[in-house]
Amino acid sequence: MTSPYFNLSGKTAIITGGSKGLGEQMAYALAESGADVALVSRTQADLDTVSAAIHAATGRRVIGVAANVTKDAEIQAMVQAVMAEFGRIDILINNAGIGGTTPVHDLSEEEWDRFMNLNLKGPVLCSKHVGVEMAKRKQGNIINVSSLFSKIVARYMAAYGATKAALVSFTRTLALEWARDNIRVNALCPGYFDTPMNHEFWGTKGGKGIISKIPMQRVGDPKELKPAIIFLASDANTFMTGTTLFVDGGHSLVG
């Protein structure tokens, strides 16, 4: 029997970047725990495929809403669509983002803006518009997906690291600002995970070099992120806000 602390039945969640990678795993986790889910990305075909698969596996209501999370008007329309479908938003997971490595000498203005827009502006705007609906009910839970690189640094990751560190700062500030409305705001900081996009890399010299620095001597299985997102999304942490949770095999301990 599922503990009532982790039961998300009756809850509705929005997950940006929810049609692939770690976002897809988070969507499965919340639906498996009883939540109805709205997935957000820019490609409706991907959203439809993943939504149907999650519904088939869990029986939960799952919809896909195409939106560019860097565009204010599209975010507002997305929130309206979710409210029309479900009538409430209990959980927002700001997961959409990009990674990449570029030496600062080669970092163009356009690339810098792309990192800032998707990794920082997107979560700010989504929180702003979803927060309006949460504040009306004096209840809500926002989870910002930051990164191991909010704490440690690596060569050529200035843009990525800057956005993820800023996202943690935004999380803490928003938690303080919105506590009066009973809206909790926390950050999840994943380390390295084995995904289809990077699977082959972990067998290379560079990949093995990174693994050697992780105290647990391995990268994570995406499914290992599911318990953490359920914990943050559930009533198991009702007295927790402004906190940063690392799921990284201990990597943040040693840099």
Residue 254, domain member (yes or no): no
What's the CA gap between 15 and 19, in Å, rounded?
9
For residue 110, the domain's CATH number is 3.40.50.720
Tens of pLDDT along 127-178?
999 999 999 999 999 999 999 999 999 999 999 999 999 999 999 999 999 9
Q: What is the model's pTM?
A: 0.96
Q: How many domains does the chain have?
A: 1
Query: Residue 119 belongs to what domain range?
Result: 4-245
What's the CA gap between 104 and 242, in Å, rounded?
31
Dihedral over alpha carbons 133, 169, 121, 142 (to 10 degrees): -30
What's the CA gap between 67 and 47, in Å, rounded?
11
Q: Please provide residue 136's backbone torsions phi and psi, each rounded to the nearest 5 degrees.
A: -60, -35
Look-up: residue for tokens 């860097």?
Answer: 70
What is the overall mean pLDDT for the chain? 96
* Residue 196 pLDDT: 83
Residue 250, domain member (yes or no): no
Catalytic residues: 160
Tens of pLDDT along 213-241?
999 999 999 999 999 999 999 999 999 99
Tens of pLDDT along 71-89?
999 999 999 999 999 999 9
Residue 252, domain member (yes or no): no
For residues 177 and 220, is the Cβ–Cβ distance under 8 A? no
What's the CA gap between 148 and 150, in Å, rounded?
5
**Confidence label for 255 from pLDDT (cuts 50, 70 and 90):** confident
Closest-CA residue to 13 (of 152, 118, 140) = 140
Residue 255, domain member (yes or no): no
